[in-house]
Amino acid sequence: MKWLLPLSALSIGLLLGWFLAGSPSADSTAHGAKGSGGLSVVEVTHPQGDSYVEKGAAASVSVRAGSLKSLSDTDAWLKELEGKDQLDQMEALLARMKSADTGDFAMLMDGVQKYPRSLRWMAQTMLATKWAESDPQGMLVYIDKQPMDQQWGLRNSFYGAWAKENPQVAYQSALKLSNQRAQQSAMQAVIQTVAVEDPRAAVEMAKNMQELGHRADWLMRNIYQTWANEDLETARSAALAMPDGPQKVQALSGALNNWMQDDPMAALGWLESLPIDGTVYNSKKEVFRRLLNQDFDTAKAFIEAKSDPMERREVLESISFSNLSWKKDFEQIEAMYHWVGEVATGQVYDNKVGDVMRALVQVDRERAEAFVMNLPAGSARMNAIGSFAQQMAEQDPAAAIEFASSLAYEDEKRRALSNMGWQISRYGVDAVKTIVAQTSDSDVQRELASRVVADWSKYDQPGALEWAESLGDDQARSSALQSVYKNWMQADPVAALSYLETSVEEGKQANYLRSGFQEWAQQDPQAAVEMLDRIPATLNEQQNADIYSSVTRTFVRHDPMAASEWISTLERGMNRDKSVETLTRTISKTDPEAGFLWASTIDNEDLRKNSLSQSVRYWVKNDIDAAYEAVTDSKIEASEKESLFQMIESAR
């Protein structure tokens, strides 16, 4: 692989030389030309006289009479080329393209597929440029015949090359692509090429692209960055003249990008001098986020120059310190920690200390641990402990648990264990399950046991169940078993319910079922409600109704109409009443009339009164007369109507 870097550099030189020297005149004729400051609509004429037609029409990829090379010659030439080294292949390809005929391009393009990725891209770009000059229609047909994973790169190279010759025709062709992703990719390639010569036209194309439903924020930033390379002042002015919105934010960020590289303080000063409105405010945050992160020394100087604490916080919130380890050694990062303490306060300080802590761990874990343990008590120390434990859990879960167990204060231990829980559940189960099961530290078991089995029980339910049952701490064991049970109910509800009745104490069964059904309803509410009638008889009426209410709450959020239809099938009783109460509480905010009608069907007096009051409370805000009429016509008791009428009158 040692040859790849110098070969790539030399190939780039050859490529640039080929572009700068220009290519021979194309066999095809393009009627119309690019004009300065505008793009004319042109018609591409096929070498044999056919006008440009839609994609899918017959393309001229056959060899014309009098061509320099026949297809058989091209095939033999490509086979001979395989015996040469990569540099000789590239030089031969450049020479061949100068005399290539339209019939050669397809086989040449097939031949360069064997190149390494970087060289393949350069060769395809050169071929696409030459092919687009002479036979764009033929290359479009060629692209459509290639495997899908190759079409994207070829299409981008082609449309970028075509846009150099006939930008408007290339753009109109991109618009005709039926695949939305292909259309967006082709439009981006055209617009990026147009931006070099005519950024104003590129901006209009990007706006049109946005109107078609494609995201163009990144593209707008790229256009203005290219524009600013040639004319910074004009690019800035054009960005400021855009309508307020996300595209203006990206345009301003792009226009300032290179200025920030050359003279960051001047660029930031100019941005600070602008009259503040919503777009400028968001543009400043975008610039801070993207550009200050590239130069911490500039960021420090800029922040220190701010005397307003709120302005300091605004800038600090936009800067990430988590990549400090890429650029600075331990002492420099430690100095950054102390600097944050000088310029930041409150929540911003806590968050940034955590970022710096992560960088310290990445540079030297042992020194980072000593640094954390020497911090004074307070929120900064607590956040640092949490960040350290989180980083440790990613690198060495067993060592992270050992660190947490060594902490003398319960609140610090809980913070460390809490922060490492997610990493352990995703990456460290095999490494820590024995440690957690055998530890005498009950806090470790209580904080981590349920995390250990959370994903484990999805692919190995028997193993996770056996492990959870072996835990010595009662609270940890119960928590882990419930975590296993939630996944088990969704995978095999009949077996899970059977286990519940035979292996779980009656007093704990309600908790298992409540959490299990709630989790299940979030994933598949229809399946969950179909199993509610299988709830064991060991639960009392209230416990049973609470589970119905919990499932209903989730079901209503997912599909109110389907939930209503299901509730209407329930037999009268507490299960139905609690379900209706939950439904009423949810729908009354948006449809108080429906909430009122449902509430009036509740049998339990207390639940009915509360639900009716809630629906009327929302109803009087939107249509007090309709609420009054509904209460008057309802069949509820007069005593219940009285309190509702009082509520209505007080709202008039």
Question: Tell me: the pLDDT tens digits for 363-419?
Answer: 999 999 999 999 888 887 888 899 899 888 888 888 899 999 999 999 999 999 999
DSSP-assigned letter for residue 51: B
User: How far from 644 is each of 602, 609, 624, CA to CA, in Å?
Assistant: 16, 9, 12
H/E element, 199: helix 199-211
Q: Who contacts 331 (Cβ-Cβ below 8 Å, separation ≥6)?
A: none
Residue type, 376: P
Percent of the chain having pLDDT more than 70?
85
Query: What pLDDT, on a 0 to 100 scale, did the predictor assign at position 82?
Result: 67
Question: Tell me: the pLDDT tens digits for 478-498?
Answer: 999 999 999 999 999 999 999
Whether the CB-CB separation of 222 and 196 falls below 8 Å is answered with no
Distance CA 272, CA 596 (A): 55
Classify residue 297 by burial, with Cβ atoms within 10 Å: 0-12, 13-18, 19+: exposed
Distance CA 186, CA 193 (A): 11
Question: Tell me: the pLDDT tens digits for 78-112?
Answer: 677 666 776 777 777 777 777 777 777 887 788 77
User: How far from 138 is each of 131, 160, 173, CA to CA, in Å?
Assistant: 8, 16, 13
Query: What pLDDT, on a 0 to 100 scale, did the predictor assign at position 70?
Result: 46
> Parallel, antiparallel, or unpaired: how do β-strands 43-45 and 29-31 relate?
antiparallel
Query: What pLDDT, on a 0 to 100 scale, did the predictor assign at position 308?
Result: 83
Distance CA 607, CA 551 (A): 18
Whether the CB-CB separation of 10 and 86 falls below 8 Å is answered with no
Angle at 252 between CA 250 and CA 258, to 5 degrees: 105
Q: Can you count the helices (H) and strands (E) in the chain?
A: 37, 2
The first and second tokens of residue 169, run together, are 């025709």
Residue type, 139: M
For residues 16 and 384, the model is more confident at: 384
Half-sphere exposure of 289 (CA within 13 A, CB side): 12
**Phi, psi values for residue 29, rounded to 5°:** -120, 135
Half-sphere exposure of 601 (CA within 13 A, CB side): 19
Query: What pLDDT, on a 0 to 100 scale, did the predictor assign at position 509?
Result: 94
Structural domain boundaries in the chain: 492-554, 570-651
> Which of 474, 494, 496, 499 has its CA nearest to residue 486?
496
The first and second tokens of residue 451, run together, are 């995390």
**Phi, psi values for residue 241, rounded to 5°:** -80, -10
Half-sphere exposure of 374 (CA within 13 A, CB side): 7
DSSP string, 93-111: HHHHHHT--GGGHHHHHHH
Tell me, yes or no, if the pTM score tops 0.85. Answer: no
Per-state percent for the chain, helix, strand, coil, to nearest 5: 75, 0, 20
Query: What pLDDT, on a 0 to 100 scale, did the predictor assign at position 239?
Result: 92
> Which of 561, 523, 552 has its CA nearest to residue 611?
552
Question: Tell me: the pLDDT tens digits for 163-184?
Answer: 988 999 999 999 998 888 889 8
Q: Who contacts 419 (Cβ-Cβ below 8 Å, separation ≥6)?
A: 386, 387, 389, 390, 393
Chain mean position to CA 354:
23
428 — pLDDT class (breaks 50, 70, 90): low
Classify residue 205 by burial, with Cβ atoms within 10 Å: 0-12, 13-18, 19+: buried
Beta-sheet strands, E only, within 475-633:
none
Per-residue pLDDT for 68 more than 70? no
Distance CA 579, CA 611 (A): 11
> Which of 151, 152, 157 has its CA nearest to residue 132?
157
DSSP string, 295-364: -HHHHHHHHHT---HHHHHHHHHT---TTGGGT--HHHHHHHHHHHHHH--HHHHHHHHHHHHHHHHHH-
The first and second tokens of residue 567, run together, are 């509730």
What's the Rg (C-alpha) of the chain? Answer: 34
Distance CA 28, CA 135 (A): 7
The first and second tokens of residue 102, run together, are 């339209």
Question: Tell me: the pLDDT tens digits for 217-254?
Answer: 889 999 999 999 999 999 999 999 998 888 888 898 89
Q: Cβ of 433: how many Cβ atoms within 10 Å?
A: 20
Q: Residue 588, SS3?
A: coil
Distance CA 163, CA 167 (A): 4
- Only one residue has tokens 């109910």, namely 489
Distance CA 589, CA 85 (A): 73
Query: What pLDDT, on a 0 to 100 scale, did the predictor assign at position 319?
Result: 77
Distance CA 348, CA 368 (A): 21
